[in-house]
Chains A and B, each alone.
Chain A
């Protein structure tokens, strides 16, 4: 069966520090991968999606970047965090051409 792993679960980082969040999927090949951010008390905002290795599309301009170095690995990064980057970050995957997401367990990022 397919599983999605996301880490770390929580992270407290100072303003200006770098960020790297990792997401991996097991049990499937060539998934669509997504990064979402959920600000406190808000909805889920699509940040990036990827349909294949090295293929990244950004939905909104921001202080973040994403990479997909391997088929089932998706990384969210920042060179210098801002206070506004705080939030709950969720990775998700779906079957190519299919419907429905499975979300990872999320990373709660607090920038101080």
Chain B
């Protein structure tokens, strides 16, 4: 099964809050799990990514948590800022990175 499920569809938080976006997959052949950030009128840009040999990866205010047994992974944004307001996509790919499957996206709004 190629599908990647993502929730919630939209999210509103206050500045300083910690939005959490969740994704789930079914294909156990997936070996690479990136998150992309997209601002209106722009193409997606890689934010952070993880491979299943680790359970957590942190880059600045962004953290991915990965649960291999549950086939779930999530993005946490610490101390969120209005500039983080964007659409976030999780994705998954096999080891050779030929075919990427994306989640439907989460529109995040961070209120000042």
Whether chain B is bound by chain A comes out as no
